[in-house]
Amino acid sequence: MRFRSLIIAILATIPIAGCTYDDGPDRNKRYLQLGIDAPQKNEVVVCHAYGCKMKTPYRFTSANIAEITREMQRVKRNNSPAEERRAIAYAIGLMERQVGAAIGIKDKAGMQWSASGDPTQEDCVDESTNTTSFLTVLQSNGLLHFHTVQGPLGEDNMLYGTLIGRPVKYWPHYTAIILETKTSQRWAVDSWIGDNGENPSITKVEDWYLKGTS
């Protein structure tokens, strides 16, 4: 116990930064890593069953896109980057419901330890990939005016998590990313934290997950 306390005290005197895995503006890196096609206009490959074990093609129909457009117009209170992010959150939630109804995804929030291989469930690799694809569909349909879609971002800090006795919290976690074009502020669009069809959180990337490591 004294040795453990000494190690923690020593490490507390130096910064323990989390590792960051950043695809930057290149969205295609993730698709190449997973061996799936990048979105083509309204056609995407949906990852599910954890770690993209299952890959199911889905095409957003013209009716889907019309519904998404109406939803974004409905929730925006003004024409600003902040309100566009609000509309994006609603759009991603709706897109998850559209896709989930078609291919049977009923994902529960967070990590489900027995869900690997379950086609109804998604982990953060699946979620960040799918959200990136859905955002790309929005962009392809001219629905993003203040933001562009970038590749996913991941963070972890296994050492810190192990030392303080909370290993799960600091495991690798991934999110989709949008860039606010005027300010170059990057925003994390994280769908993993909610059930399928719930609005994702959208936070400044430096405040996402391991605050200050990005």
Q: Distance between CA atoms of 143 and 137, rounded to whole angstroms?
A: 9
> For residue 23, what pLDDT is reported?
81
pLDDT digits (tens, 9 = 90+) for 110-133: 877 777 889 999 999 999 999 999
pTM: 0.84
Tokens 């995407």 — which residue?
44
pLDDT digits (tens, 9 = 90+) for 69-110: 999 999 999 999 999 999 999 999 999 999 999 999 999 998
DSSP 8-state code for residue 36: -
Asked if 210 and 157 touch (Cβ cutoff 8 Å), the reply is yes
- Judged against a pLDDT cut of 50, whether residue 41 lies above it is answered with yes
Q: Distance between CA atoms of 168 and 24, rounded to whole angstroms?
A: 25
Q: Distance between CA atoms of 209 and 211, rounded to whole angstroms?
A: 6
pLDDT digits (tens, 9 = 90+) for 151-174: 999 876 555 444 444 444 557 889
Asked if 22 and 174 touch (Cβ cutoff 8 Å), the reply is no
Q: Which of 155, 138, 169 is nearest to 205 (CA)?
A: 155
